[in-house]
A = this chain, B = another copy of it.
Amino acid sequence: MNERAERRRRSEEKILAAARALFAERGYQATTIRAVAAAAAVDPALIMQFFGNKGNLFRLAVTAPSEEPATCDPERLTELVLDVLGVKLAEGPGGSDAAMRSMLTHPEAAAHVRDSLSTQIQQASTAIDDDEAELRAALMLTTLLGVTVGKHLLGLESLRTASPERIVELLRPSLRALANVRN
């Protein structure tokens, strides 16, 4: 009945998975359609036929929900916000790895991360009782962004060798100070 449709869905997912991995590793520009095709064991032209162009592939790779069990939560860093503010955030600061990797060099990725961050800032700020709730929330989330970038994207030794739990513990008082909560 639908052997065709199934094969197609499988191909699409293989391509998206390869694209996610390569975009996350090398960024938008350095990732070629040809490389994605090779990683997915597929012809480059097939990607065009499915996704239209490279920009669209990136958009879907960054937007669409991944089927993998999800890359281990960035340090449970977002749980810190739950800890300190009682607000639950859906994703790590800035969204997917693929989006974050390209956020400084690809305008569309920058917009995606900016939007994701803005949403999280808005959510967090509702739990802060202060005139400058939004600014405080922004500083909290950019702090998490900085730690994530430093540890995962840059691979800073001092952070790579530290235990995630310890990082969370050291960060907690710092975030509390930003949130302006007493204890």
Binding site for B on A (CB under 8 A): 26-30, 100-105, 110, 113-114, 117-118, 121, 132, 134-139, 141-147, 149-151, 153-159, 162, 166-167, 170-171, 173-178
> A146 to chain B: which residues have CB within 8 Å?
142-147, 149
User: Which 9 pairs of residues, A with B, have the shortest CB-CB distance?
Assistant: A146-B146, A138-B158, A142-B150, A27-B105, A173-B177, A142-B146, A145-B146, A174-B177, A29-B29
Assembly stoichiometry (copies): 2
Say whether chain A's binding surface is mostly helix, strand, loop, or mixed.
Answer: helix
Q: Are A105 and B147 in contact (CB under 8 A)?
A: no
Q: What are 10 of the A-B contact pairs (CB < 8 Å)?
A: A121-B158, A135-B166, A135-B167, A139-B147, A142-B149, A142-B151, A144-B146, A145-B149, A146-B149, A174-B177
Q: How far is the CA of A132 from the CA of B163 in the complex (A)?
A: 12
> A158 to chain B: which residues have CB within 8 Å?
118, 121, 134-135, 137-138
> A156 to chain B: which residues have CB within 8 Å?
114, 117-118, 121, 138, 142
16 further A-B contacts with Cβ under 8 Å, apart from A104-B149, A135-B158, A145-B150, are A26-B105, A101-B105, A103-B104, A104-B104, A110-B154, A117-B156, A135-B170, A137-B158, A138-B158, A139-B170, A141-B150, A143-B143, A146-B147, A146-B149, A170-B178, A176-B177
Q: Which of B154, B162, B173 contacts A103 (CB 8 A)?
A: B154
